[in-house]
């Protein structure tokens, strides 16, 4: 891929998911996202309408995190939260899989959850992303989720919330890419702080990057290109 500062920024979902940020911080965050041309701002769903208003004259999308960060709400709760976030202005939805059901072998439950959330996104023409939280999964469980995704066809599968015991790894991105090929996008999220981190994920197959360090990454890219 022939990267420029603009194409790199356009792959980044810049995140502000801290529960103690102020409205002034969110406004500054959205203003900076617009300045850099990030693809999306990733926020908790309660902030959707506020960030949508801050970005009303911007091309930057608003993405709501659903069932975040544990995924331990019912399908009905997640479907309601998804629909509500979309009605409040969300352009993209990142939801967390119910790992208790996955690890208990209830694949039908996990598939139904994915189907129902993706269906809501499709109905409204919004982008859907499924968060695996790979740090808690075996490779077999990751592969199971990839196979379900190939049946359901969300827009993206995603490595992590950034709130677990581990974040995105190159090995996980490669596994996900090997399983889904070009059929589904792959979002690497969490733990990326430097340009080299980001480039490694892109090389492994990631087509989106979720990070709170987007500004530093793009600035580092520009500085390196200027040499």
Q: What is the 3-state secondary structure (H, E, C) of 137-192?
A: CCHHHHHHHHHHHHHHCCCEEECCCCCCCCCCCHHHHHHHHHHHCCCCEEEEECCC
Report the alpha-carbon distance of residue 3 to residue 9 in Å, rounded: 10
CB 13 within 8 A of CB 42: yes
Tens of pLDDT, residues 42-60 = 999 999 999 999 999 999 9
Is the pLDDT confidence value at 1 over 80? no
Question: What φ, ψ does residue 26 adopt, rounded to 5°?
Answer: -65, -40
CB 153 within 8 A of CB 127: no
Mean pLDDT (the chain) is: 97
CB 212 within 8 A of CB 33: no
- Residue that has been written with the tokens 């581990």 in this structure: 166
3-state SS assignment for residue 121: helix
What CATH number does the domain located at 5-226 have? 3.20.20.70
Mean pLDDT of 13-40: 98
Of 39, 111, 129, 187, which one is the catalytic site residue? 187
Given this model, what pLDDT does residue 182 score? 97
> Is 94 a residue of the active site?
yes
Given this model, what pLDDT does residue 132 score? 98
Neighbouring C-beta atoms of residue 11, cutoff 10 Å: 21
CB 117 within 8 A of CB 87: no
How would residue 227 be classed by pLDDT, with cut points 50, 70 and 90?
A: confident
Is the pLDDT confidence value at 215 over 70? yes
pTM value is 0.96
Report the alpha-carbon distance of residue 196 to residue 28 in Å, rounded: 26
Report the alpha-carbon distance of residue 54 to residue 23 in Å, rounded: 10
Of 13, 91, 94, 172, which one is the catalytic site residue? 94
Report the alpha-carbon distance of residue 54 to residue 28 in Å, rounded: 9
> Is 187 a residue of the active site?
yes
Of 52, 111, 129, 158, which one is the catalytic site residue? 158
Given this model, what pLDDT does residue 129 score? 98
């Amino acid at each position: 891929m022939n990267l420029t500062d603009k194409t790199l920024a356009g792959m980044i979902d810049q995140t502000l998911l801290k529960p103690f940020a102020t409205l002034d911080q969110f406004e500054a965050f959205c203003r900076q996202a617009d300045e850099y041309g990030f693809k999306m701002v990733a926020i908790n769903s309660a902030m959707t309408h506020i960030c949508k208003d801050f970005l009303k004259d911007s091309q930057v999308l608003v993405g709501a995190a659903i069932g975040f960060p544990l995924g331990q709400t019912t399908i009905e709760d997640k479907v309601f939260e998804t629909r509500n976030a979309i009605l409040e202005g969300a352009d993209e939805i990142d939801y967390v899989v119910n790992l208790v059901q996955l690890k208990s072998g209830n694949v039908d439950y996990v598939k139904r959850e994915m189907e129902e959330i993706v269906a809501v996104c499709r109905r409204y023409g919004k982008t859907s992303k499924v968060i695996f939280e790979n740090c808690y999964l075996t490779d077999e469980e990751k592969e199971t989720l990839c196979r379900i995704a190939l049946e359901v066809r969300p827009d993206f599968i995603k490595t992590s919330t950034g709130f677990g015991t581990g974040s995105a790894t190159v090995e996980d991105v490669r596994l996900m890419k090997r399983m889904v090929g070009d059929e589904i996008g792959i979002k690497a999220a969490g733990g990326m702080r430097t340009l080299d981190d980001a480039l490694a994920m892109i090389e492994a197959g990631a087509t989106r990057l979720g990070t709170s360090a987007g500004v530093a990454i793009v600035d580092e890219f520009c500085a390196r290109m200027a040499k």
